C-alpha cells in the first residue's frame, strides 16, 4: 500500500465513521466471546497504523504484527511498543500463544489467504477466537481496492472457502455496512463510468454527516450481534479453535 494511504489512515482513523464503526463492532464481539477473560492475550495481525491496538482494553496483553515498516512506524508514534515485523503467511510467533487473533481487512492484501488463516489458527490457544473482516463483493472492486493493495474482495462463500481445513469452528458470519451498500455501489459505478476511479475512497466527511453514518454502523452492530445482515460492503466472521475449558 502506498505511503500516502497510510498517512491518510493515520490522520482519519480516530474520527472517520467507517473505522469507528468497525472498532465498535470489534469491541462488542470481543465482549461477547471473551467475557471476563483475565488479561487476554490478543494478536492484531496486520495492525496497520495501530488505532485498533489503542482501542483494546488495558487489562489485556495486545501485540501488533505487520509486514511493512511504515505501519509499524505509525504504531510507535501512538506509543505502542509491543510490535513485531512479520509476514502473516509465515508468522515468527510461538504456537498456541493467544486467546484471540484479529485479522481486520488483512487477508485481501495477501496472495495466499488460506495460509494466513492457517497461521492464525496455529498461534491461537485451544478455545481461542479468530475475528476476520474483509471487503465484500468482487463487483465492488475499484480504484480504492487497487490503492490499498487488495488482491480481491469476497462473497460469503469465498470467505468460507479460506476457512476450510483450518480446524476452526464457525460461530458467526455476516455482512455489514449494509445501509451504505447501495450508495457505495452507485458511487463506484459512477466513478468507473466517468473514469475517475483512480485513488482510494478514503477522505474526511463533514462532522454532522460523519456522526450520522457512525450511528448507522452502531445500529448495524446490534443487528449483527443478534442475527446477520444479507449483504453489505464488508464481511465479518468469528471462529473458535476447538479445545480449552
Per-residue pLDDT of 101-120, as tens digits, reads: 999 999 999 999 999 999 99
Element spanning 83, H or E: strand 83-85
Cβ within 8 Å of residue 179, ≥6 positions away = 216, 219, 220
Q: Average pLDDT of 148-163? A: 93
Band of the pLDDT at 245, cuts 50, 70, 90? low
Q: Please tell me the CATH code under which domain 3-240 is placed.
A: 3.40.50.150
**How many other CB atoms are there within 10 angstroms of residue 137's CB atom?**
19
> Of 239 and 204, which is predicted with more confidence?
239
Amino acid at each position: 500500500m502506498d505511503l500516502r494511504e497510510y498517512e491518510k489512515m493515520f490522520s482519519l482513523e480516530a474520527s472517520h465513521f467507517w473505522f469507528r464503526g468497525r472498532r465498535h463492532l470489534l469491541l462488542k464481539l470481543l465482549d461477547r466471546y471473551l467475557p471476563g477473560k483475565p488479561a487476554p492475550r490478543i494478536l492484531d495481525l496486520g495492525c496497520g497504523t495501530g488505532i485498533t491496538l489503542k482501542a483494546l482494553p488495558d487489562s489485556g496483553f495486545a501485540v501488533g504484527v505487520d509486514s511493512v515498516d511504515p505501519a509499524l512506524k505509525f504504531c510507535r508514534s501512538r506509543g505502542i511498543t509491543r510490535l513485531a515485523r512479520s509476514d502473516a503467511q509465515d508468522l515468527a510467533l510461538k504456537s498456541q500463544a493467544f486467546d484471540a487473533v484479529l485479522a481486520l481487512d488483512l487477508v485481501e492484501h495477501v496472495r495466499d489467504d488460506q495460509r494466513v488463516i492457517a497461521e492464525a489458527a496455529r498461534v491461537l490457544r485451544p478455545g481461542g477466537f479468530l475475528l476476520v473482516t474483509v471487503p465484500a463483493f468482487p463487483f465492488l472492486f475499484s480504484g480504492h481496492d487497487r490503492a490499498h493493495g487488495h488482491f480481491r474482495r469476497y462473497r460469503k462463500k469465498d470467505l468460507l472457502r479460506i476457512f476450510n481445513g483450518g480446524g476452526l469452528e464457525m460461530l458467526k458470519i455476516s455482512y455489514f455496512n449494509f445501509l451504505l451498500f447501495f450508495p457505495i455501489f452507485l458511487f463506484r459505478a459512477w466513478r468507473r463510468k466517468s473514469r475517475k476511479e483512480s485513488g482510494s475512497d478514503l477522505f474526511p466527511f463533514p462532522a454532522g454527516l460523519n456522526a450520522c453514518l457512525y450511528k448507522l454502523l452502531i445500529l448495524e452492530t446490534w443487528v449483527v450481534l443478534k442475527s446477520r445482515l444479507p449483504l453489505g460492503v464488508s464481511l465479518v466472521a468469528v471462529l473458535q479453535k476447538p479445545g480449552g475449558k
